Structure 1
Amino acid sequence: MNSLQMKKRIVLTGGPGGGKTTALDLFRREFSGQLASVPESATMIFSGGIERSDKPEVIAAQQKTIFNLQKNLEDTQRAMFPECLILCDRGTLDGLAYWPGSEQDFFETMNTSLEFELSRYDAVIFFETAAKSGQGIRSNNPIRNESEQKAVELDQRLQSVWSQHPNFNLVSSSESFIKKVMFGIMTIENVIGQIEP
């Protein structure tokens, strides 16, 4: 298998207010030329004029759109940067935490499976929400409007999904932000080391 056939893809995810957006910018600088990032598809959709809703049928339609956009963005970056590691701001399974129906319904709607979606990624770096340590979760992202309680609930749902990945890396909310970033850099370096000849 040559380098072009390898997945070379990492998900950076976690509950709202975990610091992943700021960390992603630092990772891009640290691995300039080695890494191509995939922006968060939900942010693209909701900041582009689509309104949030609390109606289950609308949430389902939005999550289906986010799921498909996420896959297409990952494929686009892979085609554009075939030799780079792809670092994804969230992944295809994040929508499961927001899905209004059952897990089975999610996978049937998306025409996929948990096992297949996990296999798309080499590693998962999970930044736990600061709300789990009783800290505030103010965000620079204007579409993020979750309360601390909601952030903890989403974090727990996301963690229960992504922790099933064989290369799941949890960065605790109690860690300092610098330690979070250093742990993320170390994880990315390990993945690069595993896939380079």
Structure 2
Amino acid sequence: MAAPKRIVLTGGPGAGKTATLEVVRHHFSAQVHVLPEAAGILYGGGFPRHSTNAGSRAAQRAIFHVQRELERGSEEERIAETIVCDRGTLDGLAYWPGAEDDFFRDVETSIDAELARYAMVVHLRTPSVHDGYNHENPLRIESARQAAAIDARIGRIWSRHPRVVTVESRANFVEKVHQVLDILRREIPTVRARTRHPEIGPDP
């Protein structure tokens, strides 16, 4: 049996990843396994969120290894033929307070090895305040300007992947979700999800 296909859904703070992935999980059912965000698991569980360089590096190393184990566990359990990741192992570079080489040395890998883990990257762009950026997620601490800067760094990091699809921010969040569903549907040839879009509630 072939190894599951991994797809990254990434983006800066407030891009709508969590809400979008809930719809993806419901829409594709057993054909897709959606992984939780490693950072959310760690920070939600009390991992220190220090603003120092040493604290930031410790957090990103921990997030990297949790992400790796989430992916490995779902692959070994053969839960589904496609795994959609809430961020990938390279997202930590956008938060890393130092040179890229230091990151790869600390986690003992390379840019090429991590890019090769994923079949596709879907980048949800972070909205501006005008388009709906907010702090409804209690783990979101970034200002709109900081979120935009992180989103730009994420875009530059993943631009080195051969298959990146960018989903621009929109005032109508439902349209953004529909675009992601269409992208994923084309990537899952055996999908048996509903042909019509599900009902989606108000913007997150």
Q: State the SS of the aligned residue for 1:193.
A: coil
Which residue does the alignment assign to 2:153? Answer: 157
**Counterpart Cα distance in 2 of 1:66 and 1:11:** 15
Offset of residue 167 of structure 1: 1.2
Runs of 4+ aligned residues of structure 1 deviating over 2 Å after TM superposition are 80-84, 133-136
Offset of residue 124 of structure 1: 0.7
Structure 1 unpaired stretches of 5+: none
Q: Is the 8 A contact 1:17 1:151 kept in 2?
A: yes
**Percentage identity across aligned positions?**
40
Kindly provide the amino acid, as one letter, of the partner of residue 127 in structure 2: A
Q: Is the 8 A contact 2:30 2:80 kept in 1?
A: no
**Counterpart Cα distance in 2 of 1:138 and 1:145:** 10
Which residue does the alignment assign to 1:59? Answer: 56
Residues 113-145 of structure 1: CA deviation (Å, up to 9, x unaligned): 1111111011111110012x7434224421111
**Counterpart Cα distance in 1 of 2:69 and 2:173:** 31
Offset of residue 188 of structure 1: 1.1
**Counterpart Cα distance in 2 of 1:176 and 1:136:** 9
1:41 to 34, 38, 41: 38
Q: Is the 8 A contact 2:127 2:169 kept in 1?
A: yes
1:31 to 28, 32, 35: 28
User: Of Structure 1 and Structure 2, which has the larger fraction of its residues in helix?
Assistant: 1
1:189 to 2:185 alignment: yes
Structure 2 unpaired stretches of 5+: 192-204
Aligned pair count?
Answer: 191
Which residue does the alignment assign to 1:112? Answer: 109
**Counterpart Cα distance in 2 of 1:194 and 1:96:** 34
Residues 85-139 of structure 1: CA deviation (Å, up to 9, x unaligned): 10101110000000011011111111111111111011111110012x7434224
Q: Is the 8 A contact 1:10 1:124 kept in 2?
A: yes
Which residue does the alignment assign to 1:167? Answer: 163
Q: Is the 8 A contact 1:13 1:91 kept in 2?
A: yes
**Counterpart Cα distance in 2 of 1:165 and 1:157:** 14
Offset of residue 33 of structure 1: 0.8
Residues 56-82 of structure 1: CA deviation (Å, up to 9, x unaligned): 011111110100000001111112235
TM-score of the superposition, structure 2-length normalised?
0.88
Kindly provide the amino acid, as one letter, of the partner of residue 165 in structure 1: H
Offset of residue 24 of structure 1: 0.3
Q: Is the 8 A contact 2:93 2:103 kept in 1?
A: yes
Kindly provide the amino acid, as one letter, of the partner of residue 31 in structure 1: F
**Counterpart Cα distance in 2 of 1:160 and 1:37:** 24
1:138 to 130, 134, 140: 134
1:70 to 44, 67, 70: 67
Q: Is the 8 A contact 1:122 1:191 kept in 2?
A: no
Which residue does the alignment assign to 1:126? Answer: 123
Q: Is the 8 A contact 1:12 1:126 kept in 2?
A: yes
Q: State the SS of the aligned residue for 1:164.
A: coil
Which residue does the alignment assign to 2:14? Answer: 17
Mean alpha-carbon deviation: is it higher for 133-142 or for 156-165? 133-142
Kindly provide the amino acid, as one letter, of the partner of residue 149 in structure 1: R
Kindly provide the amino acid, as one letter, of the partner of residue 165 in structure 2: N
